[in-house]
């Protein structure tokens, strides 16, 4: 992808966070899912780290290497004509400099946005605010050097891994969100936050657009839009939603010892090929 085209996609993604409607980003796990989402009319696509890891045989939680993650993310970005923002977990590095280097590779892979976590996984502490803000500044510097207005989605893991009572966690989340915005983040992602009232308070408390993950227990997309949320994603939920069908199909074929069930799909071999014929 030429840098000029990549810059244009980054600007498109940035503008999509400004409305007038909430930005609904499906999370792709491979090139086929990405192309299907593009064909369905989504103006931009996110990736799911858990889904990409599963495709390549890893559990979620930064068990996959940066190289393998970027290999598939690059293929996804090349397979569509819409902006792609990549979930790159905690950045695959032990320092701000190392993480910034991985983000430069992500830019070279064609992505125009990244999702970065301030959590280090279950049982491990969150990054300090100063440490995570330093990472965000380093990534912003790398993006500026590459002349790509990368959209940084700063994940706030307080509601997943933080300590204290709910009000204390909320205060911690606001403090982190404000620091990350000041450091150069474009979007704040309070993963694990599902309560409508608390989401609304957070939206009013920070300057950056807020990303909420849809799913069980979360408000509906229209409700999220109504309280000022600017972006909604699905994590690995869309990938997991396809698995019961594949599982049932496998069991039915196994039980019936025949394959006529495969002929029921609306996607013929030619239709699947057609998803990529323009590339």
Judge contact between 121 and 91, C-beta under 8 A.
no
**At a CB cut-off of 8 Å and minimum separation 6, what does 204 contact?**
228
Q: Which residues contact 8 (CB under 8 A, 6 or more apart)?
A: none
Q: What is the pLDDT of residue 265?
A: 67
Domain architecture of the chain: domains with CATH: 3-237 (3.20.20.60)
Could you list the mean pLDDT of each consecutive 10-residue stretch along the chain, which spans 279 residues?
95 96 98 97 98 96 96 98 98 96 98 95 82 98 98 96 88 98 98 96 98 95 98 97 90 74 71 80
Q: What is the per-residue pLDDT across 120-176, written as a single tens digit (0 to 9) for each? A: 766 668 999 999 999 999 999 999 999 999 999 999 999 988 778 999 999 999 999
Distance CA 231, CA 78 (A): 23
Single pTM value for the model: 0.94
Q: How much is the pLDDT for 254?
A: 83
């Amino acid at each position: 992808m030429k840098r000029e085209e990549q810059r244009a996609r980054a600007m498109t993604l940035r503008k999509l966070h400004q409305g007038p409607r909430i930005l609904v980003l499906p999370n792709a796990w491979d090139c086929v899912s990405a192309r299907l989402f593009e064909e369905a009319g989504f103006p931009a696509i996110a990736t799911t780290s858990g889904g990409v890891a599963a495709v390549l045989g890893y559990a979620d939680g930064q068990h996959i290497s940066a190289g393998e993650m970027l290999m598939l993310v690059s293929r996804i970005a090349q397979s569509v004509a819409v902006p792609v923002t990549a979930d790159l977990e905690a950045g695959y590095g032990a320092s701000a400099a190392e993480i910034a280097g991985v983000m430069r590779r992500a830019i070279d892979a064609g992505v125009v946005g990244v999702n970065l976590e301030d959590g280090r996984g279950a049982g491990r502490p969150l990054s300090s605010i100063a440490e995570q803000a330093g990472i965000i500044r380093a990534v912003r510097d790398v993006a500026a050097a590459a002349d790509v207005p990368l959209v940084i989605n700063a994940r706030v893991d307080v509601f997943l891994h933080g300590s204290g009572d709910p009000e204390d966690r909320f205060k911690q989340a606001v403090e982190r969100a404000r620091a990350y915005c000041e450091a150069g983040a474009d979007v704040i992602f309070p993963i694990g936050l599902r309560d409508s009232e608390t989401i609304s308070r957070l939206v009013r408390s920070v300057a950056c657009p807020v990303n909420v993950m849809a799913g069980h227990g979360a408000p509906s997309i229209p409700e999220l839009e109504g309280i000022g949320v600017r972006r909604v994603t699905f994590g690995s939920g869309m990938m997991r939603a396809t698995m019961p069908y594949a599982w049932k199909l496998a069991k039915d074929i196994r039980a019936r010892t025949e394959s006529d069930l495969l002929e029921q799909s609306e996607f013929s071999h030619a239709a699947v090929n057609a998803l990529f014929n323009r590339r």
